[in-house]
Each structure stands twice: as structure tokens, then as C-alpha cells.
């Protein structure tokens, strides 16, 4: 279970490309084919896992890669945002561009705003935008990693309790005639030694059978 959880923990903190508007803080229209990249930046939401260097790409290249153009009214989550606002608050793309806020992820096609649905890329002229690598905390992977680690001790404990119950039922059924006829009770103790795995089975005799000081044999 711990080995299975390792890939999830490795994904929690990773370096992701972050884009932000620098010289030009306007978002190009997605319906106007005559947009001018010298005065605006065109944003694209590319599939999750997109790692291509798209600094010199055209709209045709982004469309072929399965990316979708984003309008300025697109709501996005801003992480570690400037000002005294709550982290992970949702704002419009045009507002984030004007405030030079770094952006890494975009929404899924189905409207879910989970982190990691898509990555943002910018189509524009050199100097109008900036792309840097930042260390990003993806909390989506933390939950399954924690669950797998906890199952590493929950499953053995449950299995141990189950086997203990099986052994108790077996001893009760196997020595049931001794208990019914002679009143002999059984008791089994586990041996948790690293060198010996077998335990000890005790027979507790009734008072009429006891001829010595010991109450167990």
C-alpha cells in the first residue's frame, strides 16, 4: 500500500509552467479572427499533461493539439493571488491578466473546476507575456495517497481480527465435546516472536480433574 501511494505523493509538489500577462494585459477575442497579438494575448486551455513548448505556436497548432480558446470572461481559480484575498478564489481571466496574476490550470470541458483538469498556454508576441516554472501543490493527489497509506495498517489489523475469530470458532467447534462432557476449556495464545510463529494451546481442566497446584496444563 505504501508503494502504491508513493506516485501520488510525488505528484503533490511538482514544477508546472505558469503564465502571466506582462506588457500586454488584454485578452484577445475568441470570435474575432482578426485579433492583433501586438495588443492582446490569446489564452488556450490545453489537455492535462500538456508539456509542449508553445511559445511560437499559432492558433492552428493549438487547435491541432486539442486546445480550446478561452474568452476573457472565463472563470479561473487564482492560487497564491496577490492582495489580501482568500486563496483559491475564482475570478475572470481578463481580471487575472490585468493584475499580472500567474495562472497554471483551467477548467475541464464538463465545467468541473478541479485542479489538474487542463493547463493554460498563451499565444502572443515575445515580451507580451511570461512563462515560468513554479512549484505547485496539487491537493487532488493527497487524498488517495493518504488513503493508501492508512490502508497499509487497517487491512492487516482487520485481517488479524478475522483470523483470530476463525481460530476461536475452530477451537470451540473442535473441542466442543470435551467442553460439553468434561467441562474442559481451551485457550490459545499467539506468539509474536520474530523467530517462532506458532502459538500455545492451553487446556483448562475443571476442579474435579485438578490434582496439582497449577490450574492449567
Quote the DSSP letter at residue 141.
G
Q: How far is CA 82 from the centre of its chain?
A: 27
Is 168 among the domain residues?
A: no
Structural domain count of the chain: 2
Instruction: Give the pLDDT band (50/70/90) at residue 82.
Output: very low
At 194, list the grid cell. Answer: 520474530
Is 85 among the domain residues?
A: yes
- Average pLDDT rounded to a whole number, residues 40-63: 84
Same domain for 111 and 31? yes
- Average pLDDT rounded to a whole number, residues 171-181: 89
Same domain for 48 and 129? yes
* Spatial contact of 186 and 203, defined as CB atoms under 8 Å apart: yes
69 vs 58: CA distance, rounded Å: 12
pLDDT in tens, 6-37: 887 776 666 677 888 888 889 998 888 788 88
- In this prediction, residue 65 carries a pLDDT of 87
Range of the domain at 101: 10-140
Amino acid at each position: 500500500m505504501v508503494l502504491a501511494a508513493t506516485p501520488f505523493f510525488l505528484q503533490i509538489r511538482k514544477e508546472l509552467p505558469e503564465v502571466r500577462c506582462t506588457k500586454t494585459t488584454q485578452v484577445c477575442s475568441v470570435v474575432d479572427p482578426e485579433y492583433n497579438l501586438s495588443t492582446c494575448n490569446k489564452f488556450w486551455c490545453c489537455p492535462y499533461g500538456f508539456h509542449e513548448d508553445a511559445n511560437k505556436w499559432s492558433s492552428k497548432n493549438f487547435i491541432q493539439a486539442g486546445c480550446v480558446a478561452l474568452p476573457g470572461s472565463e472563470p479561473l481559480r487564482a492560487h497564491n493571488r496577490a492582495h489580501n484575498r482568500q486563496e483559491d478564489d475564482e475570478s475572470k481571466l481578463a481580471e487575472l491578466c490585468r493584475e499580472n496574476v500567474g495562472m497554471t490550470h483551467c477548467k475541464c470541458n464538463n465545467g468541473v473546476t478541479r485542479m489538474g483538469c487542463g493547463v493554460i498556454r498563451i499565444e502572443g508576441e515575445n515580451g507580451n507575456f511570461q512563462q515560468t516554472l513554479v512549484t505547485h501543490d496539487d491537493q487532488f493527489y493527497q487524498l488517495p495517497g493518504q488513503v493508501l497509506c492508512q490502508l497499509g495498517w487497517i487491512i492487516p489489523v482487520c485481517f488479524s481480527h478475522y483470523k483470530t475469530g476463525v481460530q476461536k470458532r475452530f477451537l470451540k467447534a473442535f473441542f466442543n465435546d470435551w467442553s460439553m462432557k468434561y467441562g474442559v476449556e481451551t485457550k490459545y495464545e499467539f506468539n509474536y516472536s520474530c523467530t517462532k510463529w506458532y502459538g500455545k494451546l492451553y487446556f483448562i481442566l475443571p476442579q474435579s480433574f485438578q490434582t496439582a497446584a497449577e490450574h492449567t496444563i
